[in-house]
């Protein structure tokens, strides 16, 4: 894939679809954290690790969402950067969920995910 020219722009409709997808995935991430932290079980130290991953990943997703709302996000270079950053944030959130699941399966944490 070739690098876009510095002033190359993307179509606003294309950016709007990406903005919608980003917002929906951000909503799912926030909902997961909301449900997880409202669990009445006590926290343990091992629960801090997945929450740290989730918090960092969601912060990256919020940053990307704000970047895509900016007027200059139609510039292809900035759009591509936001897209890459969003995928990193999504991966960090997925890692946090994975760590929480492993903690739950192994019985290490007190924040139960599987019931």
Asked, for residue 111, whether it belongs to a domain, the answer is: no
User: Is 6 inside any structural domain?
Assistant: no
65 within some domain: yes
The rounded distance, in Å, linking the Cα atoms of 11 and 23 is 19
> What is the tens place of the pLDDT at every residue in 10-47?
888 888 899 999 999 999 999 989 988 887 777 788 88
**Domain span holding position 48:** 12-106
Model pTM? Answer: 0.85
Q: Is the pLDDT of residue 114 over 60?
A: no
The sign of the torsion formed by the CA atoms of 30, 32, 33, 35 equals positive
Is residue 25 situated within a structural domain? yes
Q: Is 82 in contact with 68 (CB distance < 8 Å)? A: yes
Q: What is the number of domains present in the chain? A: 1
Lowest mean pLDDT among 64-73, 85-94, 101-110: 101-110
């Amino acid at each position: 894939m070739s690098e876009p020219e510095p002033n190359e722009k993307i179509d606003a409709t294309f950016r709007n679809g990406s903005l919608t997808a980003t917002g929906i995935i951000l909503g799912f991430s926030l909902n997961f954290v909301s449900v997880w932290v409202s669990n009445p079980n006590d926290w343990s130290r091992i629960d801090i690790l997945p929450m740290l991953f989730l918090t960092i990943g969601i912060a990256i997703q919020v940053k990307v969402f704000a970047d895509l709302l900016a007027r200059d996000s139609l510039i292809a270079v900035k759009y591509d950067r936001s897209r890459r950053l969003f995928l990193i944030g999504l991966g960090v959130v997925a890692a946090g969920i994975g760590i929480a699941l492993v903690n739950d399966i192994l019985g290490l944490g007190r924040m139960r995910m599987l019931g």
